[in-house]
Amino acid sequence: MVIGGDYNLVRNQREKSHGMVDHCWANAFNHWINSWGLTELKNPSRSYTWFNNQDNPIMAALDRVLVNTPFDHLYPLASVKSVSRAGSDHAPLIINFGTNNTPKHSPFRFEKWWLLQPDFPELIRKIWETPCCLDNPMDVWQFKVRLLRKKLRG
């Protein structure tokens, strides 16, 4: 179960910019969350999701996403982020279920220990002697460097 939206309630003083909170309502809201066994997917990108558009603005964390334990077990990598308010006084929240298993591309890094491997000079020689159908010297260079990276990554 996922319950998300504008609750118009804060859970503690840190969720309001001026810190003035009706503790009776905050405690009741926390009690409701706990009684249903919900946990909040915290938004690490923004402390406050609402502000009142005044000269001396009041900001608060009113928008939130709450999940139950079965959801948390099914989607342990789920997270929330906020995006631009775009004309609203609320920041929209986007849920990432963490199910995209596409690995992030890591940049190639040359390892100094490769130079200590006895077969490394031979590997370099083989790659540089690999025939290439490209004519432009820069294209040939890039082809061979890419081939070297591919071989070194395994």
Residue 85 reports pLDDT greater than 80: no
Report the percent of the chain where pLDDT is more than 70.
94
117 exposure class (CB count in 10 Å sphere: 0-12, 13-18, 19+): exposed
Domain 2-96: CATH architecture, name and number where available? 4-Layer Sandwich (3.60)
According to the model, what pLDDT value does residue 28 have? Answer: 93
Alpha-carbon distance 6 to 19, whole Å? 19
Query: Is 80 within 8 Å of 95 (Cβ atoms)?
Result: yes
Q: What is the pLDDT of residues 7-40, one digit of tens each?
A: 888 888 888 888 788 889 999 999 999 999 999 8
Residue spans of alpha helices (H) in 61-101:
69-74
Of 65-79, 83-97, 126-140, which gets the smallest average pLDDT?
83-97
Residue 86 reports pLDDT greater than 90: no
- State the Rg of the chain over Cα: 27
According to the model, what pLDDT value does residue 104 have? Answer: 63
Q: What is the pTM of this model?
A: 0.60
Q: What are the structure tokens assigned to 2, written together? A: 């996922």
Query: Does residue 14 sit in helix, strand or coil?
Result: helix
Query: Is 67 within 8 Å of 41 (Cβ atoms)?
Result: yes
> 5's torsion region: left (phi>0), alpha (psi -120 to 50) or beta?
left
More confident call, 53 vs 119: 119
Query: Where does the pLDDT of residue 49 fall: very low under 50, low under 70, confident under 90, or very high at 90 and above?
Result: confident
> Where exactly are the structural domains of the chain?
2-96, 112-153
